[in-house]
């Protein structure tokens, strides 16, 4: 794993005269600025309301300190683990994000190529801008399909069937979005999907509102109010559980009560998530919600977390607080915009290298060595 970064870079050709390699994941956002129009940058970057939850995700991670142990043999750190039955190279995955072609012409195909080379799962959005089949052909790592609970249940059934046939290995139901939250950057800019970027796996008639622009209106928000089913309950999750033999993941869990219900309904994993600060403004930061959820789940299903992850030490922190893996989102799109598949590979390599270094410096050579005694949470006591 110490050679992960250099290995990933070697897999994809670099253009002659390419700029110096970024040393931090957060540097990719600035590099992407020149390649993306303002409305697309705002769509990717923005959160809902005052963006207080967007800010809280990062601040909560920064508050956590690490308590390293010393004089431990760390000559061979091993980042490998298992997620939903698949062996992965490190406890990391790519969170579901729609319309990767907003960032790069190859879209999700480029992202899948890089994820597979890094040996991490890619969660493909129901609103992917490349077909499931094209993404699967490019992938060499696990693919999971993310779903919203649409009014059209026949469409959901067909999408699940297509994903199974294409070799996807899990279903991820987003449960925190009965509608899309009000994202003021999109409202001010009247964000509308351009004609060349489409949710190609979904019937065009269902997606029409996403392409109808109007001043002071987010087409994405309007589309969600038309097509998302706000009446969904735990009974609907149980029906989805019966629809497919694939492992089922519920994304958007922020309370121990809902985590317990997720286990009871047969979820194979939960993703502790506030949707990257894009749904309820004022929601608890994901990492703050994590310990209570991990305690309630108590190993009965796997626990993943997203929200503000930009460094290998962030991954180490969430593992110490009870997560089995972390998911990253926006940095992938910034890197995709900057350098396509190579950019995504570099981001995954950076985080993997940082995680390996942090594990060595903390005296935790194996994923199984990481426990709550490593994390110092403000207001809490040392464990």
Please count the other Cβ atoms lying within 10 Å of the Cβ belonging to residue 82: 13
Residue 149 CB contacts under 8 Å (≥ 6 apart), including other chains: 156, 173, 175, 228, 229, 232, 236
Which of these, 287, 297, 302, lies nearest to 63 by C-alpha position?
287
Taking CA 306 as the corner, what is the angle to CA 44 and CA 163, rounded to the nearest 5 degrees? 80
For strand 302-306 and strand 325-328, is the pairing parallel, antiparallel, or unpaired?
A: parallel
CA-based torsion, 125, 127, 128, 133: positive or negative: positive
User: Helix, strand or coil for residue 34?
Assistant: coil
Which whole-number Å values give the CA distances from 69 to 2, 290, 317, 373, in the listed order? 20, 23, 15, 10
Calpha distance 15→241 (Å, rounded):
46
Calpha distance 61→19 (Å, rounded):
30
Query: How far does Cα 343 stand from its chain's mean position?
Result: 17
Calpha distance 132→321 (Å, rounded):
34
Query: How far does Cα 218 stand from its chain's mean position?
Result: 23
Q: What is the DSSP string of 37-49?
A: -HHHHHHHH--ST
Taking CA 352 as the corner, what is the angle to CA 63 and CA 344, rounded to the nearest 5 degrees? 105
Strand partners, 228: 150
Query: How far does Cα 296 stand from its chain's mean position?
Result: 23
Is 338 known to be catalytic? no
User: Helix, strand or coil for residue 335?
Assistant: helix
Annotated catalytic residue, options 104, 275, 311, 338: 275
Instruction: Point out the residues that are catalytic.
Output: 275
């Amino acid at each position: 794993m110490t050679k992960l970064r250099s290995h990933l870079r070697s897999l994809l050709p670099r253009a002659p005269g390419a700029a110096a390699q970024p040393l931090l994941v957060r540097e990719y956002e600035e590099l992407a600025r020149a390649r993306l129009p303002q409305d697309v940058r705002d769509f990717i970057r923005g959160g809902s309301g005052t963006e207080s939850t967007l800010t809280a995700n990062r601040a909560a991670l920064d508050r956590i300190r690490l308590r390293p142990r010393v004089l431990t043999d760390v000559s061979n750190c091993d980042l490998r683990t298992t997620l939903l039955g698949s062996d992965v190279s490190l406890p990391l995955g790519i969170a579901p994000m729609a319309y990767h072609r907003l960032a790069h012409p190859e879209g999700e195909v480029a992202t899948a190529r890089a994820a597979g080379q890094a040996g991490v799962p890619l969660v493909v959005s129901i609103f992917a801008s490349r077909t499931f089949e094209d993404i699967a052909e490019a992938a060499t790592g696990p693919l999971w399909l993310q779903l919203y609970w649409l009014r059209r249940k026949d469409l959901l059934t067909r999408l699940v069937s297509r994903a199974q046939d294409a070799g996807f290995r899990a279903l991820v139901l987003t449960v925190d979005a009965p509608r899309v939250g009000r994202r003021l950057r999109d409202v001010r800019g009247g964000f509308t999907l351009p004609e060349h970027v489409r949710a190609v796996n979904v019937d065009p008639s269902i997606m029409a509102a996403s392409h109808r622009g109007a001043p002071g209106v987010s087409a994405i928000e309007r589309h969600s109010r038309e097509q998302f089913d706000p009446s969904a309950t735990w009974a609907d999750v149980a029906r989805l559980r019966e629809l497919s033999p694939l492992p089922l993941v519920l994304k958007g869990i922020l309370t121990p009560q809902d985590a317990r219900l997720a286990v009871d309904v047969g979820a194979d994993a939960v993703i502790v998530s506030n949707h990257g600060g894009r749904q309820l403004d004022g929601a608890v930061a994901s990492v703050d919600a994590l310990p209570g959820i991990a305690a309630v789940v108590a190993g009965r299903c796997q626990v993943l977390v997203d929200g503000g992850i930009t460094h290998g030490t962030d991954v180490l922190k969430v593992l110490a607080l009870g997560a089995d893996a972390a998911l990253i989102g926006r940095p992938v799109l910034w890197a995709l915009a900057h350098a396509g598949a190579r950019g995504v590979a570099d981001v995954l390599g950076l985080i993997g290298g940082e995680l390996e270094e942090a594990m060595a410096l903390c005296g935790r050579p194996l994923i199984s060595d990481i426990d709550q005694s490593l994390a110092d949470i403000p207001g809490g006591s040392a464990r």
